[in-house]
Structure 1
Amino acid sequence: MNKFMEQARLIQEDMMVYRRTLHSHPEVGADLPKTKTYVMDKLREFGYEPKEICESGIVAIIEGNKPGKTFLLRADMDALPMKEATTCDFKATNGCMHSCGHDMHTAMLLGAAKLLKQNQDQIEGTIKLVFQPDEEGFTGAKKMIQAGVLENPKVDAALAMHVHSGTPSNTILCGLGTSIAGCNRFRIVVRGAGCHGAMPETGIDPINIAAHIYLSLQEIISREIAALQPAVVTIGKFVGGDAPNIIPEEVIMEGTIRSLDKEIGAFIFNRMNDIVIATAKMFRGEAQLIELSSVPPLINDNHLAYEITNYMKDLVGEQSVILFESGGMGSEDFASYSYEVPSLYIMLGAGSKQENPLFGAPMHSEKVVFNEAILATGAAIHAYSAIMWLKNNK
């Protein structure tokens, strides 16, 4: 067995404590005071001098005795604003939930921090540990990059890992090239003139306008984007009115555009703007399209992918590392790093229903349960990949 896997398994129970503590106290967005304090306290306990960056970001650095390049390891820390419905005895009760596994990611990187201290004499260069807020809101990575997370010392390559519910435990999935979609989160505000439902001619119905906009937006995908070009527009929020017999003043819609091509995403947004404005005008109202946040498509550096997945094979075996070329339509704000430095984003299988009926629920499900046994694998992947890349890229 690989030495790093042996060492990681010895701290498995420690990582379970980290993960369960974080899981029981989830925090959402860019401001994560309890999470930040917990992670920084642990890093200090391990012998690091963590620094705060942005609202709740954390950076810790470890250097070896020999000079070399700088490798960045990133974990996200934020949860989602949803009530947990699992049967775990450590489940969250504050109306938020780590349903995307960011508690697992943070625990793994804390475990890797321990492993790196144990193997500091093997580090030929510098390893930068980054704990990031607000991945879900797509603001965390951009803010941390703007605040200089890739400088002092300058980062040469970066790695992030995400648990993947439904994939067999300890199976590594690695996309080549553009492997995860970009995403634009948007809001459409439709304004009309309220009136009594019995006399619609005396007002301007924003629900009617919004309904026409909703239907028209799907025509962009079906009639203006090539069938072989992956893209999707989704409206997940449609809110208007409080009473059944009153036409309201305003309707709010919110949703996402996803595509594997930045130019296609921009084209869709611009065409949406045309449709939103023109449709509202056609029915005597007004409407506005607002971009809330965005993340570009994620691009894995293929050279980095082939090299680092070879190191991962030393940990999990060749048969458990799967490289693929097709892209998925989920989004991830680690993408922003991939436009600045050679980057690699991999997924680590966190359990299937065949292994355990509790595993395998979709990500972001109120009932998703991850296999904690993979924490050791994740910690070993981080530490071993960083050390080996620095050794072989002097």
Structure 2
Amino acid sequence: MNQFLENARAMKEELIKYRREIHQNPEVGDHLPQTTKYVMEKLKEFGYEPKEICESGIVALAGKPDAKKTFLLRADMDALPIKEETDYPFKATNGNMHACGHDMHTTMLLGAAKLLKQYENELEGSVKLVFQPNEEGFKGAKLMLKSGVLENPKVDAAMALHVHSGTPTNTVLYGLGTAIAGCTIFRITVKGVGCHGAMPETGVDPINIAAHIYTSIHEIIAREISATESVVITIGKFQAGSTHNVIPDQAILEGTIRYLNVDLGDFIYKRMEKIVTSTAEMFRGEAKIEIVASVPPLTNDKDLANQLSSYVSDVVGKQSVISFEGGGMGSEDFASYCYEVPTVYFLLGAGTKEEDPHYGLPMHHPQVVFNEDILPTGAAMHAYTAMMWLKAHQ
């Protein structure tokens, strides 16, 4: 174990270089040509034969391809459409930003790939390395699954990790059971009849309709859901009109429903459908709601979580690994994997404000900064956990 950690730490400057090159060139969504090319080239340098099984979806295999057991490690590669405001000399300038740490995740898995090549003769099975697009849009994991990421060879268990801003450096958190909320991204389109602001009676005001819809859907949480249930409805976009004295003909609302129980999420959406259509009709307009994207709640397999956490303890120390029960209301599209195979999702502490005033801002903040000291830790966690799980399951 000591030698393994030394090898991981010896890569630190190399990993920092990878991370900064990826950070400086962030790409959003399904189409990540620069990032994909970069990752493919590095994997080939390490001795892999990576394949792109879908657009910007990369798979590489370490170990024995004809092995009885296969363990999957996944990293997400996409960024966010956020203008970076850090004081990094390598900050992005293209209007996008790795504000959720996916550049860190991609780098850690590249580090794990290099470590696994060094220890390939000791692997008692195969490790499938997965680099995925569009986690932020909740479409990447589903695209990878549809493209056969769990087959050839068949995957038996899977793991992913996410940097966690505000948690002490190299502290690892993991949930037992349902740990992260499901999320439904929705769009409500309200149609009215545009008219001059001086004569509202000649039109149908979609802003008025949208305002009533906005207020009414929040009553679902207040009056139709038990106070003991964890659910959140958020409207993050309310768009209508282009000038001060004209009533427009359309208004758009976009938001999310977050839930830890799938049935409850379905119930909320159906109630919203009814509220949207009936409210619009009541005020002489029309409206519809549609799902833009969705992801189910993420559930860690308890037995697998306890097993993998023991391997993680070897890497960071037992005192730095903390389990919890109950779920947070953020969402993560790795959840889609957990309905197909046993999975575990770890959170790796990326620094607090007490360690450095730059650390500790929330993910998706334009000034968020992560401690690069955790890059070797993440690489070691990935590689060592996969090796040990395979050893225990032959």
TM-score in terms of structure 1 length: 0.99
Structure 1 residue ranges (4+ consecutive) displaced by more than 6 angstroms after TM superposition: none
Contact kept in structure 2, 1:180 and 1:327, CA below 8 Å: yes
Instruction: Please say if residues 75 and 160 of structure 2, whose CA atoms lie closer than 8 Å, have aligned partners that are also in contact.
Output: yes
Q: Which residue is equivalent to 1:7?
A: 7
Percent of paired sites with the same residue: 65
Residue 383 (structure 2) aligns with: 383
Contact (CA 8 Å) 1:73, 1:160: kept in 2 or not? yes
- Distance in 1 separating the partners of 2:9 and 2:157: 27
1:67 Cα deviation (Å)? Answer: 3.4
Residue 316 of structure 2 corresponds to: 316
Aligned to 2:215: 215
Q: Which runs of 5+ in 2 are unaligned?
A: none
Equivalent in the alignment of 1:287: 287
Aligned residue for 1:265?
265
- CA apart distance, 1:259: 0.1
Alignment of 1:31 onto 2:36: no
Counterpart CA distance in 1 for 2:373 and 2:4 is 15
Kindly state the Cα deviation for residue 66 of structure 1 after the two structures are TM-superposed: 8.8
* RMSD, aligned α-carbons: 0.9
Give the letter for the 1:192 counterpart: G
| 1:361 corresponding residue in structure 2 | 361
Contact 2:185 / 2:293 at 8 angstroms: preserved in 1? yes
Structure 1 residue 57 corresponds to structure 2 residue 57: yes
Between Structure 1 and Structure 2, how many residues are aligned? 394
Q: Distance in 1 between matches of 2:211 and 2:43?
A: 52
| Alignment pair present for 1:204 and 2:208 | no
Alignment gaps of 5+ in structure 1: none
Whole-Å Cα distance in 2 between the matches of residues 69 and 54 of structure 1? 24
Residue 177 of structure 1 deviates from its aligned partner by: 0.4
* Inter-partner Cα distance in structure 1 for 2:222 and 2:67: 54
1:79 aligns with 2:73: no
What is the distance in 1 between the residues matched to 2:165 and 2:357? 12
1:68 CA drift (Å): 3.3
Give the distance between the partners of 1:235 and 1:67, measured in 2 at CA: 48
What's 1:187 paired with?
187
| 1:28 CA drift (Å) | 0.1
Deviations 1:338-374 (A, max 9, x none): 0000000010000000000000010000000000000
Give the aligned partner of residue 228 of structure 2. Answer: 228
Tell me the amino acid that sits aligned with residue 208 of structure 1.
N
8 Å contact from structure 2 (residues 66, 153) kept in 1: no
The one-letter amino acid paired with 2:384 is Y
- Give the corresponding residue for 2:163: 163
Contact 2:63–2:121, Cα closer than 8 Å, also in 1: no
Q: Is the Cα contact below 8 Å between 2:65 and 2:153 reproduced in 1?
A: no
Question: Which amino acid in structure 2 is aligned with residue 115 of structure 1?
Answer: L
Counterpart residue identity of residue 154, structure 1: K
**Cα distance change, pair 293–65 in 1 and its aligned pair in 2 (3 A):** closer
Residue in 1 that maps onto 2:372 = 372
Q: Using a 3 Å threshold, how does the CA distance of structure 1 residues 66 and 196 change in structure 2: closer, same or farther? A: closer
Identify if the C-alpha distance between structure 1 residues 280 and 305 changes in structure 2 by more than 3 Å, giving closer, same or farther: same
Residue pair 2:186, 2:290 contacting (<8 A) in 1 also: yes
Instruction: Please tell me the residue identity of whatever aligns with 1:374.
Output: I
* Structure 1 counterpart of 2:299: 299
Q: Secondary structure at the match of 1:375?
A: helix
Q: Assess if the C-alpha contact under 8 Å between 1:74 and 1:131 holds in 2.
A: yes
**In 1, Cα distance between the equivalents of 2:53 and 2:367?**
33
State how far apart, in whole Å, the 1-side matches of 2:136 and 2:319 are. 32
* Equivalent position amino acid for 1:214 in 2: Y
Q: Separation in 2 of the partners of 1:356 and 1:345?
A: 26
Describe the SS at the equivalent of 1:112.
helix
Distance 1:22 1:270, change over 3 A: same
Aligned to 1:329: 329
Q: Given residue 14 of structure 1, which amino acid in structure 2 is its aligned partner?
A: E
- Quick check: 2:213–2:275 contact (8 Å CA) kept in 1? yes
- 2:115 counterpart of 1:115: yes
SS of match in other structure, 2:333:
coil
How far residue 55 of structure 1 moved from its aligned partner, in angstroms, is 1.1
Q: 2-side partners of 1:187 and 1:66: how far apart? A: 46
Q: Which residue of 1 aligns with 2:237?
A: 237
State the match for 2:349 in structure 1: 349
Task: Please tell me the residue identity of whatever aligns with 1:321.
Answer: V
For the residue of structure 2 that corresponds to 1:176, the secondary structure is: strand
**AA in 2 matched with 1:149:** V
In structure 1, C-alpha distance between the alignment counterparts of 2:66 and 2:236, rounded to whole Å: 52
Distance 1:276 1:249 in 2: 17
CA distance in 1, matches of 2:272, 2:71: 40
CA contact (8 A) 1:2 1:314 kept: no
Partners of 2:191 and 2:38 in 1: how far apart?
45
Q: Are residues 6 and 64 of structure 1, via their aligned partners in 2, closer, same or farther at CA, if it must alter by over 3 Å?
A: farther
Partner residue, 1:44: 44
| Deviation of the 1:22 alpha carbon | 0.4
Distance 1:89 1:2 in 2: 34
Deviations 1:205-262 (A, max 9, x none): 0000000000001001111111111000000000000011000000001000000011
Q: CA deviation at 1:64?
A: 4.0
Secondary structure of 1:67's counterpart equals: coil
**Does structure 2 retain, via aligned residues, the 8 Å contact 1:360–1:369?**
yes
Q: 1:146: Cα distance to partner?
A: 0.7
1:96-175 alignment, distance < 5 Å: 96-175=96-175
